[in-house]
Amino acid sequence: MRLVNLVLLFILVGLAFYKFSFNDTELAGSRWACNELSKNFISEPYKKYQEITEKDVLYFASSSNLTIFQTGELVFKNGERHKYEVIIDASYKVKKNKISLKYTNIDWHYKPAKSPVFVQDLDSLKGFETDLNYIINDEQLYFYNRKKHENTNYLCFSL
Protein backbone atom coordinates (compact mmCIF):
# COMPACT_ATOMS: atom_id res chain seq x y z
CA MET A 1 0.00 0.00 0.00
CA ARG A 2 2.86 2.39 0.82
CA LEU A 3 4.40 1.71 -2.58
CA VAL A 4 1.16 2.58 -4.37
CA ASN A 5 0.80 5.80 -2.35
CA LEU A 6 4.42 6.70 -3.08
CA VAL A 7 3.96 6.09 -6.84
CA LEU A 8 0.76 8.18 -6.84
CA LEU A 9 2.57 10.96 -4.96
CA PHE A 10 5.40 10.97 -7.55
CA ILE A 11 2.86 11.10 -10.39
CA LEU A 12 1.05 14.01 -8.73
CA VAL A 13 4.30 15.92 -8.13
CA GLY A 14 5.38 15.22 -11.73
CA LEU A 15 2.11 16.51 -13.14
CA ALA A 16 2.27 19.63 -10.97
CA PHE A 17 5.86 20.27 -12.07
CA TYR A 18 4.89 19.82 -15.73
CA LYS A 19 1.93 22.19 -15.39
CA PHE A 20 3.95 24.98 -13.80
CA SER A 21 7.14 24.50 -15.84
CA PHE A 22 5.52 24.32 -19.26
CA ASN A 23 2.78 26.89 -19.01
CA ASP A 24 2.58 27.39 -22.79
CA THR A 25 -0.42 25.15 -23.36
CA GLU A 26 -2.85 28.00 -22.72
CA LEU A 27 -1.80 29.68 -25.99
CA ALA A 28 -1.13 26.61 -28.17
CA GLY A 29 -3.99 26.08 -30.61
CA SER A 30 -5.69 29.38 -29.75
CA ARG A 31 -6.71 32.20 -32.13
CA TRP A 32 -7.11 35.85 -31.22
CA ALA A 33 -8.39 38.92 -33.09
CA CYS A 34 -6.74 42.28 -32.46
CA ASN A 35 -7.33 45.79 -33.86
CA GLU A 36 -5.13 48.83 -33.71
CA LEU A 37 -5.53 52.40 -34.91
CA SER A 38 -2.45 54.63 -35.06
CA LYS A 39 -2.61 58.42 -35.51
CA ASN A 40 -0.60 61.58 -34.85
CA PHE A 41 2.72 60.36 -36.20
CA ILE A 42 5.87 62.26 -35.28
CA SER A 43 8.49 60.55 -37.46
CA GLU A 44 9.02 62.26 -40.82
CA PRO A 45 8.25 59.28 -43.12
CA TYR A 46 4.95 58.65 -41.32
CA LYS A 47 3.72 62.25 -41.16
CA LYS A 48 2.07 61.78 -44.57
CA TYR A 49 -0.43 59.36 -42.99
CA GLN A 50 -3.59 60.53 -41.29
CA GLU A 51 -4.01 57.08 -39.73
CA ILE A 52 -3.03 53.44 -40.07
CA THR A 53 -5.58 50.78 -39.23
CA GLU A 54 -4.43 47.26 -38.50
CA LYS A 55 -6.44 44.09 -37.98
CA ASP A 56 -4.60 40.99 -36.83
CA VAL A 57 -5.51 37.37 -36.29
CA LEU A 58 -2.94 35.66 -34.09
CA TYR A 59 -2.88 31.88 -34.50
CA PHE A 60 -0.73 30.00 -32.01
CA ALA A 61 -0.39 26.91 -34.22
CA SER A 62 1.65 24.96 -31.67
CA SER A 63 3.51 25.48 -28.44
CA SER A 64 6.28 27.28 -30.37
CA ASN A 65 4.86 28.63 -33.68
CA LEU A 66 2.78 31.75 -34.16
CA THR A 67 1.26 32.99 -37.42
CA ILE A 68 -0.08 36.55 -37.65
CA PHE A 69 -2.53 37.34 -40.45
CA GLN A 70 -2.46 41.13 -40.75
CA THR A 71 -4.65 43.35 -42.93
CA GLY A 72 -4.79 47.08 -42.78
CA GLU A 73 -5.21 50.37 -44.49
CA LEU A 74 -2.94 53.38 -44.79
CA VAL A 75 -4.94 56.60 -44.92
CA PHE A 76 -2.96 59.49 -46.34
CA LYS A 77 -3.62 63.09 -45.31
CA ASN A 78 -4.68 63.84 -48.90
CA GLY A 79 -7.49 61.25 -48.59
CA GLU A 80 -5.86 58.41 -50.52
CA ARG A 81 -6.31 54.95 -49.05
CA HIS A 82 -4.03 51.97 -49.63
CA LYS A 83 -4.80 48.52 -48.27
CA TYR A 84 -2.23 45.89 -47.35
CA GLU A 85 -2.13 42.23 -46.35
CA VAL A 86 0.80 40.36 -44.84
CA ILE A 87 1.43 37.07 -43.07
CA ILE A 88 4.05 37.14 -40.34
CA ASP A 89 5.51 33.92 -38.94
CA ALA A 90 7.20 33.85 -35.56
CA SER A 91 8.55 31.38 -33.08
CA TYR A 92 7.73 31.91 -29.44
CA LYS A 93 8.49 30.68 -25.96
CA VAL A 94 6.37 31.17 -22.88
CA LYS A 95 7.56 31.28 -19.30
CA LYS A 96 4.95 32.16 -16.71
CA ASN A 97 3.34 35.37 -18.03
CA LYS A 98 6.19 36.32 -20.40
CA ILE A 99 6.26 35.56 -24.12
CA SER A 100 9.47 35.80 -26.15
CA LEU A 101 8.91 36.27 -29.89
CA LYS A 102 11.29 35.92 -32.82
CA TYR A 103 9.89 36.96 -36.19
CA THR A 104 11.01 34.41 -38.77
CA ASN A 105 9.22 35.27 -42.03
CA ILE A 106 7.30 38.15 -43.64
CA ASP A 107 5.11 37.19 -46.62
CA TRP A 108 3.31 40.04 -48.40
CA HIS A 109 0.04 39.23 -50.14
CA TYR A 110 -0.64 42.85 -51.01
CA LYS A 111 1.89 45.66 -50.55
CA PRO A 112 0.56 49.19 -50.17
CA ALA A 113 1.42 51.61 -52.97
CA LYS A 114 3.48 54.73 -52.28
CA SER A 115 4.64 53.40 -48.90
CA PRO A 116 8.16 52.01 -49.23
CA VAL A 117 9.16 52.98 -45.68
CA PHE A 118 6.10 51.23 -44.21
CA VAL A 119 6.91 48.08 -46.23
CA GLN A 120 10.58 48.29 -45.22
CA ASP A 121 9.64 48.68 -41.55
CA LEU A 122 7.50 45.53 -41.61
CA ASP A 123 10.13 43.62 -43.61
CA SER A 124 12.75 44.59 -41.01
CA LEU A 125 10.87 42.57 -38.39
CA LYS A 126 12.40 39.39 -39.84
CA GLY A 127 14.92 38.17 -37.27
CA PHE A 128 13.74 40.69 -34.66
CA GLU A 129 13.25 39.37 -31.13
CA THR A 130 11.12 40.89 -28.39
CA ASP A 131 9.80 40.02 -24.95
CA LEU A 132 6.34 40.94 -23.76
CA ASN A 133 4.28 40.14 -20.73
CA TYR A 134 0.77 38.87 -21.24
CA ILE A 135 -2.39 38.14 -19.32
CA ILE A 136 -5.32 36.00 -20.39
CA ASN A 137 -8.54 37.10 -18.73
CA ASP A 138 -11.56 35.09 -19.87
CA GLU A 139 -11.83 35.79 -23.62
CA GLN A 140 -9.20 38.56 -23.68
CA LEU A 141 -5.45 38.42 -24.30
CA TYR A 142 -3.56 41.50 -23.14
CA PHE A 143 0.08 42.16 -24.11
CA TYR A 144 2.24 44.75 -22.36
CA ASN A 145 5.96 45.36 -21.99
CA ARG A 146 7.93 44.86 -18.82
CA LYS A 147 8.11 48.60 -18.14
CA LYS A 148 4.36 48.96 -18.74
CA HIS A 149 4.73 51.70 -21.38
CA GLU A 150 1.44 52.55 -23.07
CA ASN A 151 2.83 52.31 -26.62
CA THR A 152 3.13 48.53 -26.45
CA ASN A 153 -0.19 47.68 -24.86
CA TYR A 154 -2.20 45.40 -27.11
CA LEU A 155 -5.61 43.84 -26.50
CA CYS A 156 -6.98 40.82 -28.39
CA PHE A 157 -10.19 38.82 -28.18
CA SER A 158 -10.60 35.07 -28.48
CA LEU A 159 -12.01 33.67 -31.70
Q: Could you report the per-residue pLDDT of 95-114, keeping only the tens digit for each?
A: 988 999 999 999 999 999 89
All residue ranges of the chain with pLDDT < 50 are: 4-10, 13-24
Whether 91 contacts 67, CB under 8 Å: no
**pLDDT > 90: percent of the chain:** 69
Q: Tell me the pTM.
A: 0.81
In the prediction, which pLDDT does 151 show? 58
User: Domains in the chain and their CATH numbers?
Assistant: 26-158 (2.40.128)
Listed in sequence order, the residues at least 6 apart from 111 whose beta carbon sits closer than 8 Å to its beta carbon are 84, 119
Query: Rounded to an integer, what distance in angstroms lies between the CA atom of residue 155 and that of residue 133?
Result: 12
In the prediction, which pLDDT does 149 show? 57
Using alpha carbons, select from 34, 73, 38 the residue that is nearest to residue 55: 34
Q: What digits encode the pLDDT tens for the residues 110-139?
A: 999 899 999 999 999 999 999 999 999 989
Contacts 24+ apart (CB under 8 A), 28-31: 28/60, 28/62, 28/63, 29/60, 29/61, 29/62, 30/59, 30/60, 30/158, 31/57, 31/58, 31/59, 31/60, 31/158, 31/159
**SS3 at position 16:** helix
Whether 50 contacts 77, CB under 8 Å: yes
**SS3 at position 10:** helix
Whether 104 contacts 77, CB under 8 Å: no
Residue 131 phi/psi, 5° resolution?
-120, 135
